[in-house]
Amino acid sequence: MYTPGTQPDQDAEDGGGPETEAAGAASAKPRWSDRAGLWRRGWWVGGSSLFLALVLLVHAKVPNEIGNLGSLLQTFLPWLGLAVPVLVVCAVLRRSATALVCLLVPILVWLNLFGGLLIDKTSDGGALMVVSHNVDADNADPEGTAEKLAGSGADLVALQELPQSAMETYEAGLAAAYPYHAVQGTVGLWSRYPLSDTAPVDTGMGWVRAMRTTVSTDALGDIAVYVAHLPSVRVQFRAGFTAERRDRAAELLGQAISEEGLHRAVLLGDLNGTMNDGALAPLTSQLRSTQGAAGAGFGFSWPAGFPMARIDQILVRDLEPVSSWTLPATGSDHLPVAARLDP
């Protein structure tokens, strides 16, 4: 029954009309004006942010006993920073002040670890320019690679993964710029200055992948130069990060450098590891990274098509790096790395 001239209260019977539904939806949606909700929402985003900060803080404590997980994490450690913008988006979508505050922690930790690499520390000068390059045994253009290296202007060029089939090509391509050179196994050094006391360095591989020689320079005197190619590492489903042979080779190479009689020393090579990798401590505890001291950016060198890690290194002792950078790509799957050094 209803009084003529009126309509049934259909909206009331249905529990509300479109306006009521819209108002309900609006009230259910998180709002920045909801001050209490700002701090109650987004705990999972905040927790994820704090966990990321914890991983960055204790990366050196992650053990290698299970699949060399620590070394794998440290190899790509800078890339963990990419999780921050993802978490920022999640925090904004949740309209969570709690999550945004928690995000400050991994940002500050990441900047503490890597912020220094974002600063351009290069300067002019340098009495000695050195280049290191894994030329790749499967390089389809060894002639072009040798030509680019010869035109780099370097005083010393260290090569790794030299295939016997292309040895004459590299020797011919570098001969005009570098009158002195020495090769041991699959590594070699080309120099503008005389070389002496050249010998292989045992890395426990059964064949020669490292060498040591004395370079007699004009400005810096005698320098012990080591060229090395440490064993490759792989990520395998069952075995994890297979770095045991590399770690053992790093220990043997570090022992040889610790017994070096000359004060000034340079290590040029593909170490198949980054400076964050604690397994390379036998080397990094004695030698200084030129990229960290005088570079601009991370200086990633591998893979050449889309560099994701700095595994090609120039490390020095009793020398001052003034600049460090990567050279343009060659026919290799690695980029050449270069540095200028002063006394």
172-186, 224-238, 252-266: lowest mean pLDDT where? 224-238
Does the pLDDT value for residue 28 go beyond 70? no
Does the pLDDT value for residue 207 go beyond 50? yes
Q: Per residue in 305-332, pLDDT tens?
A: 999 999 999 999 999 999 999 999 999 9
Question: Is the distance from CB of 202 to CB of 259 less than 8 angstroms?
Answer: no
Residue 259 and residue 161 in one domain: yes
Residue 135 and residue 111 in one domain: no
CATH number for the domain that contains residue 261:
3.60.10.10
Q: What is the arithmetic mean of pLDDT over 56-85?
A: 90
Supply the pTM of this predicted model: 0.86
Question: Is the distance from CB of 257 to CB of 283 less than 8 angstroms?
Answer: yes
Question: Is the distance from CB of 284 to CB of 314 less than 8 angstroms?
Answer: no
Does the pLDDT value for residue 223 go beyond 70? yes
Helical (H) or strand (E) element with 22:
helix 18-28
| Spatial distance between the Cα atoms of 72 and 235, rounded to a whole number of angstroms | 8
| Spatial distance between the Cα atoms of 142 and 298, rounded to a whole number of angstroms | 27
Residue 41, pLDDT score: 82
Residue 142 and residue 85 in one domain: no
Residue type, 19: E
Average pLDDT, the chain: 90
Locate 72 and state its tokens. Answer: 């794998």
Residue 132 and residue 60 in one domain: no
| Spatial distance between the Cα atoms of 205 and 202, rounded to a whole number of angstroms | 8
Residue 242, pLDDT score: 72
Give the sign of the dihedral formed by CA 72, CA 79, CA 271, CA 234. Answer: positive
Enumerate residues 6+ apart whose C-beta is below 8 A from 238: none
| Spatial distance between the Cα atoms of 76 and 273, rounded to a whole number of angstroms | 10
Whose CA is closest to 68, among 252, 298, 310, 231? 231
Residue 72 and residue 157 in one domain: no
Residue 211 and residue 314 in one domain: yes
Q: Which domain holds residue 298?
A: 128-342
Q: Per residue in 101-126, pLDDT tens?
A: 999 999 999 999 999 999 999 999 99
Residue type, 21: E
CA dist 113 to 226, 292, 294, Å? 28, 11, 16
Q: Is 15 left (phi over 0), alpha (psi -120 to 50) or beta?
A: left
Q: What is the arithmetic mean of pLDDT over 186-191?
A: 98
Model confidence at 227, pLDDT cuts 50, 70, 90, reads very high
